[in-house]
Amino acid sequence: MKRITMAAALLVTSAAATQAQKIDFNKIKDKATEVIKGTSTSGSSTTTTTTTTTSTSTASSVLGSVFSIGSLSESDVASALKEALKVGSKNASSQLSLTDGFNKNLNVRIPFPEDAQRVATKLRKMGLGKKVDEFETTLNRAAEKAVPQAVDIFGNAITSMSITDAKNILQGSNDAATQYLQGKTTDQLYTAFYPYISQTLKSTGATSKWTDITKLYNKIPGVKKVETDLGKYTTNKALKGMFTVVAGEELKIRQDPQARVTDLLQKVFGAKK
């Protein structure tokens, strides 16, 4: 059934690609699911197949008609999805590792720690807004410098993708590939990022500044104490931002023919430039 599921979905894509027509990726996914469930729709009536045998037969007939136009193997499917992740993760890493890659991207910029926003507000009211901005910039610089650490970790996770993983991604949401990558790499990325970011924050003086600020603030009677670990906070924000950008790149590949920068991506995702 795994082979039938993947072939039914991706071979339909290949057939359309052969005809140089733009394909709605989600429609392909829905059609594949329909075939495997043994459900066919005509007009307003729907007939549901109740046996595995009939479902398999239905899928086989679909495959037979598709094979007459073109074919796409499970290996092609997995390779294309790996290619999509490679392109997406590479683009994300390239963008975020640049100076201001985090700092000037409002979707991922790392702000003053949430539980200390009242500290930032108070400092701004005291005319120290520039100091707050400089401090936030330091957090983002640390994240930008840590991003290259993700390259090998992403690469290993992508290489290890199985046919089952590929099927789940194909039939999943528009960020299914990103979710796969996130599930496979978050712990490793955190382990790689945390010491790197912590050291960067320490070397730039951000950690000592943070300690001084929070100590002074925590001495104010009646205030809720700030206990944020700056290294952990910045690392978690950096990872969240990275996967946000990867998801954006994945969506482009699924929906924008111009983002399909290899022949295999064009073939599987159903469009030509």
pTM above 0.85, yes or no: no
Query: How far is the C-alpha of 271 from the C-alpha of 257, rounded, in Å?
Result: 6
Task: Based on the fold, state whether residues 116 and 131 are members of the same structural domain.
Answer: yes
Mean pLDDT, residues 54-69: 32
**Domain containing 22: what range?**
2-72
From 16, 51, 72, give the residue that closes a domain. Answer: 72
Higher pLDDT, 85 or 240: 240
End-to-end alpha carbon distance in the chain: 33
Higher pLDDT, 150 or 17: 150
Mean pLDDT, residues 103-110: 96
Task: Based on the fold, state whether residues 104 and 232 are members of the same structural domain.
Answer: yes
Mean pLDDT, residues 151-162: 92
Query: How far is the C-alpha of 174 from the C-alpha of 116, rounded, in Å?
Result: 34
Number of domains in the chain: 2
Task: Based on the fold, state whether residues 131 and 30 are members of the same structural domain.
Answer: no
Mean pLDDT, residues 27-39: 48
Task: Based on the fold, state whether residues 54 and 143 are members of the same structural domain.
Answer: no
Task: Based on the fold, state whether residues 31 and 130 are members of the same structural domain.
Answer: no
pLDDT of residue 30: 55
pLDDT tens sequence across 225-235: 888 899 999 99
Task: Based on the fold, state whether residues 65 and 105 are members of the same structural domain.
Answer: no
Residue 111 has pLDDT above 90, yes or no: yes
Give me the amino acid identity at 147.
V
Higher pLDDT, 185 or 215: 185
Give me the amino acid identity at 206.
A
pLDDT of residue 270: 66
pLDDT tens sequence across 252-266: 887 777 777 777 777
Residue 54 has pLDDT above 70, yes or no: no
pLDDT of residue 261: 72
Query: How far is the C-alpha of 147 from the C-alpha of 112, rounded, in Å?
Result: 20
Task: Based on the fold, state whether residues 68 and 80 are members of the same structural domain.
Answer: no
From 53, 72, 91, give the residue that closes a domain. Answer: 72
Task: Based on the fold, state whether residues 51 and 81 are members of the same structural domain.
Answer: no
Task: Based on the fold, state whether residues 39 and 108 are members of the same structural domain.
Answer: no
Residue 41 has pLDDT above 80, yes or no: no
Task: Based on the fold, state whether residues 174 and 85 are members of the same structural domain.
Answer: yes
If you write DSSP's letter for every residue of 144-188 in order, what string do you get? HHHGGGHHHHHHHHHHT--HHHHHHHHTS-TTHHHHHHHHHHHHH
pLDDT of residue 230: 94
Query: How far is the C-alpha of 250 from the C-alpha of 148, rounded, in Å?
Result: 19
Task: Based on the fold, state whether residues 53 and 89 are members of the same structural domain.
Answer: no
From 37, 72, 107, give the residue that closes a domain. Answer: 72
Task: Based on the fold, state whether residues 166 and 184 are members of the same structural domain.
Answer: yes
Q: Give 71's pLDDT tier (boundaries 50, 70, 90).
A: low
Residue 2 has pLDDT above 80, yes or no: no
Contact (CB, 8 A) for 142 and 204 = yes
Three-class secondary structure of residue 10 per DSSP:
helix
